[in-house]
């Protein structure tokens, strides 16, 4: 499901079963992240699938990339894999106005 920045953040704040998934590349990840995000690069192809298969399907996934395209694709893939609840951040990190952390190296 595509959500605006405000709706995505509001829903995330109220969701105790939430996981934030960043599907950008490592270089993009190093530019800053939404706090508590985990990173699985969608460009890794089959590697992305393998890593996503290890995630808990009972959680709700809040997915973002740089502009919203890759995260929408990731949500579609995850839904096909049996993940019931995925939320795509429309506009992605490039339009993000919420809190930003630097990833721990």
| 105 falls within a domain | no
Q: What pLDDT is recorded for position 104?
A: 79
- pLDDT tens, per residue, the chain with 105 residues: 999 999 999 999 999 999 999 999 999 999 999 999 999 999 999 999 999 999 999 999 999 999 999 999 999 999 999 999 999 999 999 999 999 999 876
Domain assignment present for residue 74? The answer is yes
Is residue 75 among the annotated active site residues? no
> Would residue 53 count as lying in a domain?
yes
Where would I find the H helices in 1-105?
5-14, 26-29, 46-53, 69-80
In a domain, 100, yes or no: no
Catalytic residue among 34, 65, 74, 89: 65
Q: Is there a domain that residue 102 lies in? A: no
Residue 105: predicted pLDDT:
67
Structural domain including 10 reads 2-95
Q: Looking at the 3D structure of the chain, how many domains does it have? A: 1
Residue among 85, 101, 77 nearest 8 (CA):
85
Cβ neighbours of residue 92 closer than 8 Å, sequence gap 6 or more: 64, 65, 66, 67, 68, 69, 71
């Amino acid at each position: 499901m595509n959500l605006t920045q405000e709706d995505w953040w509001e829903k995330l704040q109220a969701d105790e079963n939430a996981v934030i998934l960043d599907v950008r590349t490592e270089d993009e990840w190093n530019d800053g992240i939404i706090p508590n995000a985990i990173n699985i690069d969608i460009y890794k192809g089959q590697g992305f699938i393998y890593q996503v298969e290890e995630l808990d399907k009972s959680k709700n996934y809040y997915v973002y990339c740089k502009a919203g395209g890759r995260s929408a694709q990731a949500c579609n893939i995850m839904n096909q894999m049996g993940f019931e609840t995925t939320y795509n951040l429309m506009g992605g990190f490039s339009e993000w106005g919420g809190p930003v952390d630097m990833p721990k190296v």
